[in-house]
Amino acid sequence: MKGELEARLIVLAFTARACAGPLRKFRGISVVDLERAMARDAGRDDPGVHVYHWAEFSALVRAER
């Protein structure tokens, strides 16, 4: 069971990087980058629910504070 899970995670890691075209918005993001993006987004004065895809998360990670 553990070996099967590890194999699936390895496959997922490689396929997530290969997403292109319309699937690009579903690429994976690291937990560290997710934390940075969420912290930067929390500092914005824009109440409500926000849905972000990979490009938006990446922009938040790269944004200057």
pLDDT tens for each residue of 2-38: 788 787 777 766 666 666 677 766 777 778 888 888 8
SS3 of residue 35 by DSSP: helix
CA distance 55 to 15: 17
- Annotated domain spans of the chain: 2-62
Q: State the pTM of this model.
A: 0.53
Taking 80 as the threshold, does the pLDDT of residue 62 lie above it? yes
% helix, strand, coil for the chain, step of 5: 70, 0, 30
CA distance 4 to 9: 9
Q: What is the pLDDT of residue 43?
A: 84
CA distance 2 to 60: 34
DSSP code, position 22: G
